[in-house]
């Protein structure tokens, strides 16, 4: 049976660039961004991956779900973290740094 690499990284905000520039009404430095890579429940094509992005501490937000089976996101730890760091900084206009990382291999589903 094949193995699937689950990954998780937590980012802390080091600077709220948008807030300091006057483009946001409150300082979001308290938010933690949690990204999870997991096996997609969709038909098995591509690398079988899906991701969630959760804003821990941001009231009223829901996780974002990404079907990343065809995105070609590297599962090399450093490249994977760099990809999501760049995404968060670009999308949220923040500076972030990784605070924690976990990975594990699980059996792939056969369905």
Q: What percent of the chain has pLDDT over 90?
A: 86
CA–CA distance, 46 with 65 (Å, rounded to integer): 17
pLDDT single digits (tens) 52-77 = 999 999 989 999 999 999 999 999 99
Those residues with Cβ within 8 angstroms of residue 1's Cβ, 6 or more apart along the chain or in another chain: 107, 108, 110
* Cβ(70)–Cβ(40) below 8 Å: no
pLDDT single digits (tens) 1-20 = 689 999 999 999 999 999 99
Structural domain boundaries in the chain: 3-107
Token couple for 86: 């760049």
Predicted TM-score of the model (pTM) = 0.93
């Amino acid at each position: 049976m094949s193995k699937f690499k689950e990954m998780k990284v937590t980012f802390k905000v080091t600077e709220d660039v948008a807030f300091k520039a006057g483009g946001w009404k409150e300082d979001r430095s308290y938010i933690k961004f949690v990204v999870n890579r997991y096996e997609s429940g969709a038909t098995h094509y591509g690398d079988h991956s899906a991701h969630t992005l959760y804003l821990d501490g941001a009231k009223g937000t829901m996780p974002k779900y990404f079907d990343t089976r065809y995105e070609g996101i590297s599962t090399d730890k450093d490249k994977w973290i760099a990809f999501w760091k760049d995404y968060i900084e670009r999308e949220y206009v923040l500076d972030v740094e990784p605070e924690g990382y976990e990975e594990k291999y699980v059996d792939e589903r056969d369905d």
